[in-house]
Structure 1
Amino acid sequence: MNTTSVEITAGMGGFLVLFGLMIAIWLLGRDLTRRLRRMRLREEERVAALRQERSEDAQERDPLA
């Protein structure tokens, strides 16, 4: 029977690597959220402008208006 106890841990280096990865993932998620929000707002503005343009075209072509 082996009575020696060997403890293997990642230590401070492992903690720092995991902490760095966590910060990097958090920053990437934050950047992704900003980009998606900007894309959504641009798309909403584009659709609103397109609707406005279509309604103006429809009013110009409507002989009863």
Structure 2
Amino acid sequence: MNDTGVEITAGLGGFLVLFGLALAVWFLGRDLTRRLRRMRRAEDARLEQEQQAREQRDAAPERNSRRDEPEDGDPIG
């Protein structure tokens, strides 16, 4: 089939390029996973802080309900 007798293959150079690309993809995937985990932890912490602030804000009117009464203790006013 090949009358010239020359065999064309990727050889060692092709293997090294493909191996280098595979390593780059692996490192990029690992870095992306680490960044996504860090972002997820930061978002969870932010949501937890918001929830705590919301709970404190909701509890504040219960503690401040006595402010409606006169300060001298006279309930009539």
Tell me, yes or no, whether TM beats 0.5.
yes
- How far is 1:61 from its partner? 1.4
Aligned to 1:50: 50
* 1:1-65 pair list within 5 angstroms: 3-62=3-62, 63=65
Structure 1 vs Structure 2: percent identity of aligned residues?
59
Question: How far apart are residue 6 of structure 1 and its match?
Answer: 3.5
Q: Which amino acid aligns with 2:43?
A: E
For structure 2, the 5+ residue unaligned runs are 66-77
CA distance in 1, matches of 2:54, 2:13: 61
How many residue pairs match? The answer is: 63
CA distance in structure 2 between the partners assigned to 1:16 and 1:56 by the alignment: 60
Query: Which residue identity is paired with 1:60?
Result: A
| TM-score, scaled relative to structure 1 | 0.86
Shift of 1:36: 0.3
Once the two structures are TM-superposed, the CA of residue 7 in structure 1 deviates from its matched residue by 2.0
Larger Rg: 2
